Amino acid sequence: MLLELERVSVRYGRVHAVRGVSLTVDEGEVVALLGANGAGKSSLLKGVLGLAPTDAGKVRMAGRDLTSAPTRDRIAAGLALVPEGRRILMSLSVDENLLMGAYNRHDPAAVRAEISRLYERFPNLAARRSLPASVLSGGEQQMLAIARGVLARPRLMLLDEPSLGLSPLLVQELFRLLGELNRAGLALLLVEQNTRQALRLSARAYVMELGAIVIQDRPQALLADERLVAAYLGGGTR
């Protein structure tokens, strides 16, 4: 088991954002985490990475208990987050943003070699490597955010609404990239409003409502139940 959450809860003061969630992600697996806005999905990802306070439960990565570990230790253990809204540093260059993804590493020659390979994969980023990230389009910013996460050399990447605000063509490109990363061995925990795209990529899926897991099943089973689709998966079905 790569990631194991056992009855994890997240609170912001009196707001109980995540209520006793248990889920797992295996090595090399893609797992979708679905649900309406406000269901607690983003809070759960932040709790996994230590960016939101967990007041109950356990977070384990490859058998190691990270429940009380600081974020830097969770990243060192193989977790990386591509946050909602990309959160790239607009005043820094494209190249500097990529280097931020490798801040926890101590192999500068290997980092530069990996950046060169990423530039081959993303020629638009390569052409703007010395420019501030603010010049990038929304799709280019999302690719930069994912490339930055890749440079952390994670075993599991947490993605929070990666297709948000992208055109249908860029959404297709994004999911092709995620498929490539997964086939190369990277496990993904994917929060995504584009439910059909997410389910096509995933081996398993969890559905959250009001901070709790209400359904977990294979994608084919979820899509086969029309009432379930209407109740929980109606948004982002392009």
Looking at residue 234, its pLDDT comes to 63
Over residues 81-92, the pLDDT tens digits come to: 999 877 899 999
Q: Across the chain, what does the average pLDDT equal? A: 92
Query: Which residues are 82's β-sheet partners?
Result: 159
The gap from C-alpha 11 to its chain's centroid, in whole angstroms, comes to: 21
Greater pLDDT, 232 or 28 = 28
Structure tokens, 38: 């406000």
Least confident of 28-37, 54-63, 119-128, 226-235: 226-235
Percent of the chain with pLDDT over 70: 98
Q: Which helix (H) or strand (E) holds 64?
A: strand 64-65
Which domains are seen in the chain, by residue range? 1-78+156-169+187-238 (3.40.50.300), 87-153 (no CATH)
Strand order in the sheet with 212-217: 79-82, 156-160, 187-191, 30-34, 204-209, 212-217
pLDDT above 70 (res 80) = yes
pLDDT at 3 exceeding the cut of 70: yes
Mean pLDDT of the region 30-42: 94
Q: Dump pLDDT digits (tens) for 92-116.
A: 999 999 999 998 889 999 999 999 9
The answer on pLDDT for 237 being more than 60 is no
d(CA 58, CA 63): 11
